[in-house]
Amino acid sequence: MSSAAHVRVELESGERREIPVSKDPRPLTDILAAHGLPLNTRCGQRGLCHGCEVLLREGSVLIDGSEVHAPVTVQACRAKPAGTVLVRIPARSHIEHRPQVGETFEIAVPFTHQPLFRPVPGRRDTAFAVDVGTTTVVVLLTDLVTGRAHSTRKSASAITSSHASTPRGTRQTSPPCSTPS
């Protein structure tokens, strides 16, 4: 039997992976990203959001020098494996590298008013407005002469709720469910 530590991973899709991590001082986010499993680290891995939360089902991790034991939900950006661990990555925490564009979004703005630039008479002037928010980007294409809105597109990322953590970087969870073999 090998004494090497591993991060065993379960995805909601049912996929399972095993990553060797002997003496790896990095947090789970870095270990998982290096093996093709990037997590939502929208706060820059500062432990300010809950985007990278994973369920620690077996084993223990170190968070700010304190050992935290399964079962518990932890912020992967703050958790370093303390031996072999089993983590479940919820779909909301796993980032897939592909554009996500919503096609069903509609802005009920038939006309735009007060453009920044005056249209040039006799020419067809078209402009676009971009609203870059925290979780959504919206683009509106408009005709500056008539004020008519031609088209809109929206791209949205996953929105997750925040939960209080005790201790910082962890959240209590119910005992792990049995999983079919």
Our count of domains for the chain comes to: 2
DSSP state, 32?
A: H
Residue 181 in domain: no
Question: Which tens digits make up the pLDDT trace of 53-104?
Answer: 999 999 999 999 899 999 999 999 999 999 999 999 998 888 865 555 555 5
Region of 14 please: left (phi>0), alpha (psi -120 to 50) or beta.
Answer: left
Same domain, yes or no: 91 and 120: no
Same domain, yes or no: 67 and 83: yes
Same domain, yes or no: 55 and 115: no
Give the range of the structural domain holding residue 35, as residue numbers without chain letter. Answer: 6-97+160-172
Output 93 or 165, whichever has higher pLDDT: 93
Q: Is the CB of residue 71 less than 8 Å from the CB of residue 88?
A: no
When pLDDT is cut at 50, 70 and 90, the band that residue 141 belongs to is confident
pLDDT of residue 41: 87
